[in-house]
Structure 1
Amino acid sequence: MNKLPKIAIPGIITLIVLVVLIIKSAVTIDSGQAGVLYKTFSGGVVIDEPPMGEGFHIVAPWNKVFIYEVRQQEVFEKMQVLSSNGLEIKLDASAWFEPKREFLGKLHQEKGSEYIQRVLLPTIRSAARSVVGRYTPEQLYSSKRDAIQAEIYEETKKIVDGQYIQLNEILVRDVTLPATIKEAIERKLKQEQESLEYQFRLVTAKKEAEKVTIEAQGKADANRILSASLTDKILQDKGIDATLELAKSSNTKVVIVGSGDSGLPLILGNN
């Protein structure tokens, strides 16, 4: 095998060095990510330019690129907090968030890649303790979960907005009370429900009784008015009218005028 010419050796070495430099200089940023450039010899973290976008990039081999997820993310947190009367409550919550893309350099420079543990989670825990401490266990168990969720969101957002983090939502997934307190609340709620049902039955029965009374009163008033209107003269006139109608009948009969009580005719027939 022929030896390589001496002139070829430096060329091969140069080529190898170039390949290594290109590999070291190549940076690929995936979808939903952005890069923060760190210039080793000229100023450190670049904060006065937009972060590097998706795709393939070539940077000087002595510089570095720190890649961040810039899509919405979710972080979960389990906490133990105290209610307004000092009882320990277990709270499961999660946060939807994303770093503010335009301030990604600032976020990296001031908070670093562990900004979730350093900023977001401690703020959520602090806000949750503050908010839950305003409510009783009964309120936490029943009607106030949405209000608690909204208040934790507002208090957390107020702080992390200035820390280059965009908070999209806080979700309170579960509120766990001590077993004895939970049972006591459930008994109380059951008793209240039974009381409401009993009151409803009383109101319904009262309304039904009032309806029957009104109907009976109406009938009594009608009978009283009718009795007051039926004088002897009216009854006599109606008797005469009825007699005349009977007299028109084809059946055999004898009409004796003025022989009945109160002067009404008597009708004698063959039936």
Structure 2
Amino acid sequence: MFVFGLILLVLAVIGLTVSARLKVFDAPAAGTDRSGRRGDAGETLEPRRNRTPNHIVRWVSTGLGALGVIFLVLSSFFALDPGQAAVLRGQFTRAVDGIETSEGLHTKAPWDDVIEFDVRNQQVKYIADGRTTDNAGGLPDGAQITVQDKEGVSANIDVTVQYSIARDAVGDIYRVYRDEEGLRQKLILNDIRSVVRDVPGNFTTLEVLTDRPAVRAAVVKALEAKWEGKGLIVEDVSLQEIRYPDTVTTAFADAQQAQIAVTTEQAKLDATKVSAQQKVVQAQAEADANALLNSSLTPSILQQRYLDTLKELAAAGNLVITDGTNSQILVQR
């Protein structure tokens, strides 16, 4: 806009200069030619003064100048919404003349360009063949990422990474990558592929298949380390699908069934052991009780219990004294 306004001003100055130097020419009068020779009646007529070209140039030049001033004024203002930050770049020097991170209307030098950066959450997606649209109808940034785990088994991973640009880092980002597209192509896309490709190498096949949160956490940590000090913030990482070859997934399914069977049998064995242990404990308790009882029945205690029993029978009138044979000696009622 600044260059266009400047061009209009230059044209206006040129037009006004030409208009000031443009001579008013004499238009021939009616009945004469341009040299003023006599007409048919033999009389000589005075030529007319024609100022029309001069006026046209002057008015056009004035209009161009007014438009130029308007464009220059408009090029001194710019607006940012809440999700934007901007770098002010000298149009001729290409140097950073300022950074603006707040929303609203701002002023600048007319010759400064505004390089805008989106500081909202953004996504990078690597899905399937790279041509399959997502639920929102958008295309991914690339195809699935092929990885190799700790055991050397290959798999394909669909991944979505959410990131944002730090507002106060847009100046440094511009100096290195020039604009947001350069940042995305030269750093973000390459780093995501590199990290997602390397991290599964620290996990076994079983861990990758069964402990996806641990793999995801490792990817987040690696990305944060890689982007430290570069003005990028990792918001989220989603490992949407991990595809191993059919032979691997079939073997994993069989192993799961076998593990389930082992777990079931182990549970049964544990239950049997617990039941047996309960019986042992119960038997031991009874034996301990009997041993305690037997150890407490001394001859004197037995004699005392015998005498007590006799007293109880005598009181009830059921005491029978014999000589140890079948003949009754004495019955007391």
Tell me the TM-score range normalised by the shorter chain. Answer: 0.7 to 0.9
2:121–2:164 Cα contact (<8 Å) kept: yes
For 1:176, the equivalent position in structure 2 comes to 243
Is the contact between residue 101 and residue 167 of structure 2 (CA under 8 Å) also seen in structure 1?
no
More deviation, 181-190/226-235: 226-235
Q: Deviations over 1:149-208 (max 9, x none)?
A: 233223323332243323344343332222321221122123223322322221221221
Question: What residue in structure 2 maps to residue 105 of structure 1?
Answer: 171
Q: For residues 125 and 328 of structure 2, what CA distance do their matches in structure 1 show?
A: 102
Q: Could you say if the C-alpha distance between residues 227 and 119 of structure 1 is closer, same or farther in structure 2, counting changes exceeding 3 Å?
A: closer
Provide the aligned C-alpha RMSD in A.
3.6
Aligned to 2:231: 164
Q: Look up the match of 1:241.
A: 311
1:35 corresponds to = 86
Q: CA deviation at 1:141?
A: 0.7
| Structure-2 change in CA distance of 1:85 and 1:15 (3 Å) | same
Q: In the alignment, residue 21 of structure 1 is paired with which amino acid?
A: L
Query: With structure 1 as the length reference, what TM-score do the two structures score?
Result: 0.76
Kept in 2: contact 1:97–1:166 (CA 8 A): yes
Q: Which amino acid aligns with 2:73?
A: I
1:115-158 CA-to-partner distances (Å, cap 9, x unmatched) read 12220121111112221122221110113x33322332233233
Which of 197, 202, 213 does residue 146 from structure 1 map onto? Answer: 213
Percent identity, aligned pairs only, is 22
Partner of 2:199: 131
Quick one: distance in 2 between partners of 1:256 and 1:148?
91
**Structure of higher RCO (CA pairs closer than 8 Å, 6+ residues apart):** 1
Query: What TM-score results when the alignment is normalised by the length of structure 2?
Result: 0.64
The equivalent residue for 2:271 is 204
Work out the CA distance in 2 between the residues paired with 1:121 and 1:265.
Answer: 117
Inter-partner Cα distance in structure 2 for 1:266 and 1:177: 100
Match of residue 250 from structure 1: none
Counterpart-to-counterpart distance in 1, 2:123 and 2:190? 15
Q: Which runs of 5+ in 1 are unaligned?
A: 248-252
Q: SS state of the match for residue 180, structure 2?
A: coil
State the one-letter code of the partner of 2:116.
I
Uncovered stretches (5+) of structure 2, i.e. residues with no partner: 1-51, 127-143
Is the partner of 2:155 in helix, strand or coil? strand
Which one-letter code corresponds to 1:122 in the other structure? N
Aligned to 1:46: 96
Rounded to whole Å, the distance in 2 between the matches of 1:66 and 1:34 is: 9
Q: Per the alignment, do residues 13 and 225 of structure 1 end up closer, same or farther by CA in structure 2, a change over 3 Å counting?
A: closer
Question: For residue 95 of structure 2, what is the amino acid of its counterpart?
Answer: V
CA contact (8 A) 1:80 1:91 kept: yes
Change (3 A) 1:92 1:245: farther
How many residues are paired up? Answer: 257
Match for residue 106 of structure 2? Answer: 57
